[in-house]
């Protein structure tokens, strides 16, 4: 956990300011021609990048990274960073993971490895209604997905034979609360 994540996890008034500030620093270093970038000044593009962690780094059942909250639907085995090929990702059990942005998101970009079968993805609003629902094929590689919906408050991933892996997840969130 870096300095900005530590401050943001403290909660309160400073939490949102620190999160926005740290994401603004990240934006200044992001390339402008990939699926994980944009140019709207009213939107902050926050990203949790598991490639920053060493292989086998442990994670708690519930944790926050770059303003995104991760929760194990069932903690069947401890989460850890798993290096596969040139990438590192958060490996999770087939029971799944939920990812919650700090505020409603209009777009979520996620890079997922399906190394042991298909995976189901649901993007939900605050009442649990599915805005987007899809099955991700087991490709034995990492694939980028763009999920768009008005007011995404939770992303749920299940399946993948306990070898589902998230390399990077980014959410476009408004600068002003919605």
Q: Are 18 and 7 a contacting pair, CB within 8 Å?
A: yes
H/E stretch holding 19: helix 13-29
**What digits encode the pLDDT tens for the residues 26-74?**
433 333 334 445 567 788 899 999 999 999 999 999 999 999 999 998 8
> What is the model's pLDDT at position 87?
95
CATH superfamily for 3-174 is Galactose-binding lectin (2.60.120.430)
Tokens representing 82 are 């798993």
Low-confidence winner among 54-68, 70-84, 122-136 (lowest mean pLDDT):
70-84
What pLDDT, on a 0 to 100 scale, did the predictor assign at position 128?
A: 94
């Amino acid at each position: 956990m870096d300095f900005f994540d530590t401050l943001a996890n403290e909660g309160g008034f400073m939490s949102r300011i620190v999160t926005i500030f740290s994401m603004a620093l990240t934006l200044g270093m992001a390339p402008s021609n990939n699926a994980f970038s944009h140019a709207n000044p009213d939107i902050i593009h926050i990203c949790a990048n598991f490639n920053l962690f060493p292989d086998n780094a442990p994670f708690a059942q519930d944790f926050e990274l770059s303003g995104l909250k991760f929760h194990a639907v069932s903690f069947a085995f401890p989460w850890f960073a798993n290096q596969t090929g040139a990438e590192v990702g958060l490996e999770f059990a087939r029971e799944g993971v939920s990812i919650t942005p700090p505020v409603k998101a209009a777009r979520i970009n996620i890079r997922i490895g399906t190394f042991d079968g298909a995976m189901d993805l649901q993007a939900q609003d605050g009442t649990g209604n599915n805005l987007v629902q899809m099955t991700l094929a087991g490709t034995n590689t990492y694939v980028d997905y763009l999920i768009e919906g008005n007011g995404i408050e939770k992303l749920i991933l299940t399946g993948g034979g306990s070898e589902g892996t998230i390399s990077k997840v980014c959410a476009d969130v408004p600068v002003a609360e919605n």
